[in-house]
Amino acid sequence: MSVAEPAAAPATDSPAVEARNLVKSFALGDTTLRVIAGVSLALRAGETAAITGPSGSGKSTLLHMLGTLERPTSGELRIAGADPFALSERALARLRNERIGFVFQDHHLLPQYTVLENMLLPALAFGRVDAARERRGRELLARVGLEARAAHRPAELSGGERQRAAIARALLLSPRLLLCDEPTGQLDAKSAAAVVELLLELHSDPAAAATAPALVVVTHNAAVAARLGRRFELVEGRCYEA
Amino acid sequence: MLRSLSYHRRAHLALALAVAVATAVLAGALVVGDSVRGSLRELALSRLGRVERVVVPERAFRDRLAGDWSREGAGTTAAALVVRASARHGESGSRASGVTVLGVDAAWEALFPGTPLSFAQPEGQLFPPVLLADALARELGAKVGDTVDLLLPTYSAIPRETLVGRQEARETVATLRLTVAGLQPERGLGGFRLDTRQAAPLNAVVERSRLARAIDARDRANLLVAGGGADRGATGPSSARTNAKAALARAVTLADLGLKLSTRGDEVIVESDRLVLDDALARRLATSVREAGATPTTVFTYLANRLRIGDREVPYSTVAALAQQAPAAGAAPAVGPDIAPFTVDGAPVSPLRPGEIALNAWAAEQLGAALGSQVELTYFAVGPRDALVERTATFRVASVVAMRGLGADPSLTPQLPGLSDAARMNEWDPPFPVNLARIHPVDEEYWSRYRAAPKAFVAFADGQRLWRSRFGAVSSLRLTPPAGTSAATFARTLEMTLPRAIGPAAGGLAVREVREEALSAGEGATDFAGLFLAFSFFLLAAALLLVALLEGLAVEARAREVGLLGALGFPARAVRRRLLAEAGAVSALGVLAGLGGAVGFAAVMLYGLRTWWVGAIGAPVLFLHVRPGTLLLGGGLSLAVVTITLAIAIARASRAPAARLLTGEVADPMRASKRSALAWWTMVTALAGAAVAVTAALGAGERAAPALAFAAGALVLVAGFAALADRWGRGRSWNRRRAFALHGPAWLAAGARNGARNRGRSLLAAALVACATFVLAVVAVNRGEADVDPLARGSGTGGFALVAESDVPIVADLNRRDVREDLGLVASGSEASQAALAGTTVIPFRLLPGEDASCLNLYQPRRPRVLGAPAEMIARGGFTFQALAKETPEPWRLLDEELGDGIVPAFADANSATWILKRGLGDDVVLADENGRPLRLRLVGLLKKSIFQSELLISERAFVRHFPNRGGASYFMIEAPGGEAQAREVGEALEAGLAPFGFDATSTAERLRAFAAVEGAYLQTFQALGGLGLLLGTVGLAVVLLRNALERRRELAMMSALGFRRAQLGGLVLAENLVLLAAGLALGLLAAAAATAPHLAAQAARVPWQPLGLTLLAVLAVGCLASLSAVAATVRSPLVHALKEE
């Protein structure tokens, strides 16, 4: 295994994520489409936030920028006080691997792997699956109620179960920032409620209070948004905190 | 549909390209077949000029027959004297054997327009002119103005293998020195040949009269040709054929049939210029003259070396046997009452019974004979190889004949060369040994008075028994004309009527429709369309699989559309029809493009056959011939095959329920694991079957082993596919965590597991690579030369070091020391070669010239060469048989079996029989014997990879029975002691000593290599096209991978979000491809190992590791490159966009 380049060291008093005047534009033929038109926000570890807005308002784009998946056209992004886009590709990947967790609308579980293997996938990006990782994986599966499904393949799970497995995967490496993009978008009301409950339960776990990540959830669901600490609304590319 | 075609244009373009490739291969193979047929036909016809039919008898006839034939209605005709000879360049001394010398005259110009045939000798030119075919000029290195010697067999009407036809070996060859006056192109008289073979003949064209003088065949010819402005009559070719035959029957004279008439007293004598009438001709003559009202008496006169009673002897006397009717066919002729001359007392001699002799009065007096005395009659018999054996028979004197009438009639003896024209006996110069010291004045006195009048008479049965040869047992017929007709008048009548009564066929004068034969043979021995379809099988299969893959992927990509149409109430069949119509329209365009490709493909294949694989056909004679009908057929076939493929692909890809299709999915994720048990059982059963097949192949005979071995390979492939299906189908449990990593071997393991994502596609791609690898590896191993001792009797050489042919048949026994001395063989060569030569054994075979029956001949042979294997060869044995009519420890004895009238047991090489003659064991190859009667050569043995691939083998006994006039041996198998170097020296010594005969010796190993080269060239072609198929397979692999990767872009984007780098993701995709590629290669190699194990074990063949390894490495490299490009395409685009496409 190669020696990994260390991720940017977080400053303990810095926000987990801080955006200053982020802009994202796309070229569409001769015209330019400005999807995000100067968004600024900051979240500290342990904080929870919802980003809401109509379809096409740029919620996912903003989330991808916060998660370093997409580079802003302009503006500044800081993760734990450091500019992630100044890092090399390898260091940026490591940052994403160790500091950021993602939960998408689709579970994106790999069909050829078991539930447990899918859970442990982030550990493979910069290392091996050792006993401690496996123990942590099994604990998380137990927390999300899928312990008995560890050896099953995703095709054998229900939609809610798949999403719970995806949440467990996002938490495997104890990220400082957990980004969820419409995590309940494909679920029925009951499953959606259970998933949100699980997210909040895991986030507010007293046993892990010291390492609780900042949680950002993009959602259409007002009920889900209402359960989160802060609420931002994206309108025509601009972000307003309620 | 147009919108849909436009919208999905990229997928359609890929599909059209794949269809174009399939069409190019399929139609291209058909065009190759057309081109081969067209080229062969064109070549054969160009070599015949305007000649349509020929007459090629075994014996020579009057050269004026050509004019007579034309006058009788055969159209434009010409005569030629054709002899096989060898040539020597006057200046450089370079030699060429197998030269055909065409003695022609100006009449040939009409049949080969544009070929001036002036043989006028320019002033100052020392030697007469000769026109050399380009091929011969190249072989000799001769140009216009050079001097060339032709070594020619001299002509003799009398068979050389008779007592009076024998000649010293050197006397049978004449030399003609000529100046090269011009060159003749291959497409014309320079390429004129009656047998069909693509190689250019080594023709030398000279003036017929000049050639005739040189070989002592004045006014003779042995080839008649007709054509050009032939009289076709009103009903076309068949009428022309009939007219030509009828015209020949009218034109033929007794001289053309080798017969001559003379009168003596009241009798007409019919004799042959061969000194002996064969049984069939004698029978026909007797029948015909009886019908004409004559009474025939059959006479058979032979030469006795001595007649002796006690110590009194008479040297060199002729003895006659007479019968009043011609003998019937066969060895036991029906003998009528013997002709009885009158006794000295004037009473008729009583009919002689077997064992009785009647002496004429002179002989009786010389011997002091009395009635009842025992007379010893000593005579020469001609044994095998021209050896004279002196034999003695004892007779009892039954009567003494008066010296008048038949008792002193020299006309009972035919004109014997060297004897009849001698004024005195001691001036005799016969072709057999005589001791002139034994001749006394009294003998000279008899000669002076009675010439060759027989001194004794024996019973006809005794004459036939003692002196019969294969040429016959009748010297002449003496005819008593019908009452009231003088001998002279009757002779004149017979001159007119007899030729028609006995017919030209009795003299071997039969019309051959040579143009028709050429057109028919031009169909070729090998179906090249089928051959190239077979060669291109994997290329075609790969293209069709690619079509199926692309269409399957295209439909899968449109799964939502298909699902939506289903949801909207469109019947599934209607949706499929729509998809098929769309794909069909694209395919039609692909087929059109492919037809252009077909012509290109065929052109490249033909170029290959003229260059890279020229070993397969021997001469670069094949050119592109495109027939629109063939292209239409190829296009139609392609469209049909592609449409079926598309229908299957569409049905498979669209059979999922609409609900699943609406989610964009086609495959049922739960389905795979249900099949693992079936896969497992299939694997176990197939492996067990493969083991059984390999074991059976090891113990099976030559015929069954290849099929069993191939079955074993196929079963291993099936087992492998099942294993892959099982591996990719089963779910993985966590206890296999060692495979769950992305570094080292686990990286590849991850790739292997990714193959399970779409098991069908992965299996298809791996199967394609496996099948092609299997074929390439099996072919490569079979190309490896077997470690067989070339001097082993069981090998393809039969243990012979050399094989030789001579242009001039050799009658003498080359194993006899005196013959070798006579030929100067002993005196020539170094000491070492002399030592080797001394221990050399030459086995001579009689040869009936014909067409090459081996794979070296592209034409379909109609008259294959036939060898007569002598008794010593049959006793010696050797070679290995692939199949025998019946198992016997001495298989060569099968040639001696009697199978019935007109059926002769024969051997052929198994490859030649199967692929060229299209015959199997027990089948007949029908030829015509010397008299035009059908002769069935029944295959009772098939030799395995022997040097006898160009000919059929029968026993010499059968050969001389059916082709009695084919004197001497022209084919030789030579056993030489020592190694290859000594064999070469022996060959050189024999070639030098027998140069006048055009003796050309070759190493048997080399001859075998030449045959193997053809097989090698075909295998090379197969390998090359199989390799192309493999390349196309790897393209398919890349397409599968790219498709898989594109389908998983969101997944890869998610992994990127989890912190995986692009290199890692690319590596993962690459690993998947490598695993598919490696699985295919490994599986193909395993199957090939199973299929070739029996061959390797049985023949100890060498595996050509290097080319095999290089081929597989090239495949691996191309596969890696293709997958790298797929990887690059996958990870180049921003993956994050995929996350938004939810």
Mean pLDDT rounded to a whole number for chain B: 81
How is residue B558 written in tokens?
């449109």
pLDDT at B567 over 80: no
Q: How far is residue A53's CA from residue B539's CA, in Å, rounded to a whole number? A: 57
Q: Among partner residues B757, B1050, B1136, which is closest to A112 by beta-carbon distance?
A: B757
Strands B511-512 and B903-909: unpaired
| Interchain contact, A151 vs B1059, CB within 8 Å | no
CA distance B1022 to chain A (A): 39
In this predicted structure, which of A136-150, A193-207, B451-465, B1037-1051 has the lowest mean pLDDT?
Answer: B1037-1051
pLDDT tens-digit series, residues B586-602: 888 889 998 998 899 88
In this predicted structure, which of B190-204, B1003-1017, B1094-1108 has the lowest mean pLDDT?
Answer: B1094-1108
- Percentage of chain A beyond pLDDT 70 is 92
pLDDT at B784 over 70: no
Most confident region among B678-687, B749-758, B1102-1111 by mean pLDDT: B678-687
| Interchain contact, B1058 vs A105, CB within 8 Å | no
Q: What is the mean pLDDT of residues B1022-1048?
A: 71
Q: How far is residue B780's CA from residue B798's CA, in Å, rounded to a whole number? A: 26
Which has more confidence, A4 or B240?
Answer: B240
| Interchain contact, A90 vs B1061, CB within 8 Å | yes
- Percentage of chain B beyond pLDDT 70 is 85
Q: What is the mean pLDDT of residues B509-524?
A: 83
Task: Answer whether A104 touches B (CB < 8 Å).
Answer: yes
Contact B148/B88 with Cβ under 8 angstroms? yes
pLDDT tens-digit series, residues B22-77: 888 888 888 888 888 888 888 888 888 899 999 988 889 999 999 999 998 888 99
How is residue B665 written in tokens?
């999915």
CA distance A124 to chain B (A): 6
The alpha carbon torsion through B648, B653, B658, B663 (nearest 10 deg) reads -170
Q: Among partner residues B731, B1055, B1064, which is closest to A153 by beta-carbon distance?
A: B731
Amino acid in the structure at residue B938: R
**How much is the pLDDT for B667?**
62
Is residue A79 helix, strand or coil?
strand
Complete domains list, chain A, with CATH: 47-54+86-241 (3.40.50.300)
Amino acid in the structure at residue B923: D
| Interchain contact, B1059 vs A122, CB within 8 Å | yes
Amino acid in the structure at residue A124: L
Cα nearest neighbour of A7 on chain B: B1059
Local confidence band at B337 (pLDDT 50, 70, 90 cut-offs) = very low
Q: How far is residue B779's CA from residue B1026's CA, in Å, rounded to a whole number? A: 10
Q: What is the mean pLDDT of residues B346-363?
A: 85
Q: How far is residue B769's CA from residue B1083's CA, in Å, rounded to a whole number? A: 9
Cα nearest neighbour of A90 on chain B: B1061
Q: What is the mean pLDDT of residues B1003-1018?
A: 79
How is residue B882 written in tokens?
């692939």
pLDDT tens-digit series, residues B121-148: 777 788 999 999 998 999 999 999 999 9
Local confidence band at B937 (pLDDT 50, 70, 90 cut-offs) = very high
Q: Model-level pTM?
A: 0.68
Q: Among partner residues A90, A100, A114, which is closest to B732 by beta-carbon distance?
A: A114
List of chain B residues whose C-beta atoms are within 8 Å of the C-beta of residue A102: 1054, 1057-1058
| Interchain contact, A150 vs B1055, CB within 8 Å | no
Task: Answer whether A4 touches B (CB < 8 Å).
Answer: no
| Interchain contact, B1054 vs A64, CB within 8 Å | no
pLDDT at B788 over 60: no
Q: Among partner residues B669, B1064, B1139, which is closest to A104 by beta-carbon distance?
A: B1139
Contact B403/B361 with Cβ under 8 angstroms? yes
In this predicted structure, which of B144-158, B222-236, B690-704, B1105-1119 has the lowest mean pLDDT?
Answer: B222-236
pLDDT at A158 over 80: yes
Question: With 0-12 CB in 10 A as exposed, 13-18 as middle and 19+ as buried, what is B16?
Answer: buried
CA distance B753 to chain A (A): 6
Cα A124 to Cα A133, B156, B746, B1092: the distances in Å are: 10, 97, 11, 44
Q: What is the mean pLDDT of residues B389-417?
A: 89
List of chain A residues whose C-beta atoms are within 8 Å of the C-beta of residue B1056: 69, 93
**How much is the pLDDT for B895?**
95
pLDDT at A77 over 90: yes
The residue of A33, A119, A121, A124 whose CB has the most chain B CBs within 10 angstroms, and thus the best one to mutate to test that interface, is A124
Q: How far is residue B798's CA from residue B446's CA, in Å, rounded to a whole number? A: 57
Contact A38/A75 with Cβ under 8 angstroms? yes
Cα nearest neighbour of A185 on chain B: B1142
Is residue B265 helix, strand or coil?
coil
DSSP B958-972: HHHHH-TT--SEEEE
What spatial distance separates the first Cα and last Cα of chain B, rounded to whole Å?
28
Local confidence band at B340 (pLDDT 50, 70, 90 cut-offs) = low
| Interchain contact, A89 vs B1061, CB within 8 Å | yes
List of chain B residues whose C-beta atoms are within 8 Å of the C-beta of residue A96: 1057-1059
| Interchain contact, A93 vs B1061, CB within 8 Å | yes
Cα B1114 to Cα B530, B543, B1036, B1117, B1119: the distances in Å are: 28, 20, 16, 5, 8
| Interchain contact, A156 vs B670, CB within 8 Å | yes
